Amino acid sequence: MQRFKNILCVVNRGNPGGAALERAAALAESNQARLTVAVVAPHVSVGMGIPENGPLSRDLQAAEVKACREKLARAVDALDRPDSIATDILVGIQFLEIIRAVLRDEYDLVIKTAEQAEWLESLFGSEDMHLLRKCPCPVWLVNPFNSKQSRRIIAAVDVSDAHPAREAEPRKRLNRKILELASSMALADFAELHVVHAWEAAGVRTMRGAYMHATEETVRTYVDSIQRQRESGMKKLMGGLAESLDSETMKYLSPEVHLENGPVREVIPSLAKDIEADLIVMGTVARTGVPGFIIGNTAESILRQIECSVLAVKPEGFETPVTL
State the DSSP string of 293-304: ----HHHHHHHH
Q: Do residues 199 and 272 share a domain? A: yes
How confident is the model over 295-322, as pLDDT tens digits? 567 888 898 899 999 999 988 888 889 9
Number of domains in the chain: 2
pLDDT band (50, 70, 90) for residue 47 = low
Domain that holds residue 299: 149-324
Q: Do residues 228 and 156 share a domain? A: yes
How confident is the model over 163-176, as pLDDT tens digits? 788 878 888 999 99
pLDDT band (50, 70, 90) for residue 71 = very high
pLDDT band (50, 70, 90) for residue 290 = very low
Please check the confidence at residue 116 and state whether its pLDDT lies above 70. no
Tell me the average pLDDT across 112-135: 82
The CATH number for 259's domain is 3.40.50.12370
What is the distance between the terminal CA atoms of the chain, rounded to a whole angstrom? 31
Boundary (domain end) residue, out of 99, 114, 145: 145
Q: Give the C-alpha separation, 163 to 146, whole Å.
A: 36
Q: Do residues 135 and 220 share a domain? A: no
Q: Do residues 137 and 159 share a domain? A: no
Q: Do residues 290 and 158 share a domain? A: yes
Q: Do residues 94 and 173 share a domain? A: no
Contact 193, 186 (CB under 8 A): yes
The CATH number for 9's domain is 3.40.50.620
Boundary (domain end) residue, out of 145, 175, 204: 145
What percent of the chain is predicted at pLDDT more than 90?
62
Tell me the average pLDDT across 66-77: 94
Q: Do residues 180 and 315 share a domain? A: yes
Contact 308, 281 (CB under 8 A): no
Q: Do residues 201 and 87 share a domain? A: no
Query: Count H helices, E strands: the chain?
Result: 10, 10
Q: Is 7 helix (H, G, I), strand (E, B) or coil?
A: strand
Q: Do residues 26 and 125 share a domain? A: yes
- In the sheet that holds 152-156, the strands lie side by side as 85-91, 34-41, 6-10, 109-113, 139-142, 309-313, 279-283, 152-156, 192-199, 256-261
Boundary (domain end) residue, out of 145, 165, 200: 145
Instruction: From 93, 95, 101, 100, select the one nearest 37 (Cα to Cα).
Output: 101
Highest mean pLDDT among 16-30, 77-91, 233-247: 233-247
How confident is the model over 280-289, as pLDDT tens digits? 999 876 544 4
pTM confidence score: 0.90
Average pLDDT, the chain: 88
User: ∠ CA 261-243-173 to the nearest 5 degrees?
Assistant: 60
Q: Do residues 160 and 287 share a domain? A: yes
Contact 240, 183 (CB under 8 A): no
- Chain centroid to CA 91: 24
pLDDT number for residue 145: 83
Q: Do residues 77 and 199 share a domain? A: no
- Rounded to 5 degrees, φ, ψ at 248 are -65, -40
Q: Do residues 4 and 132 share a domain? A: yes
Q: Give the C-alpha separation, 116 to 143, whole Å.
A: 8
Instruction: From 232, 235, 164, select the one nearest 195 (Cα to Cα).
Output: 235
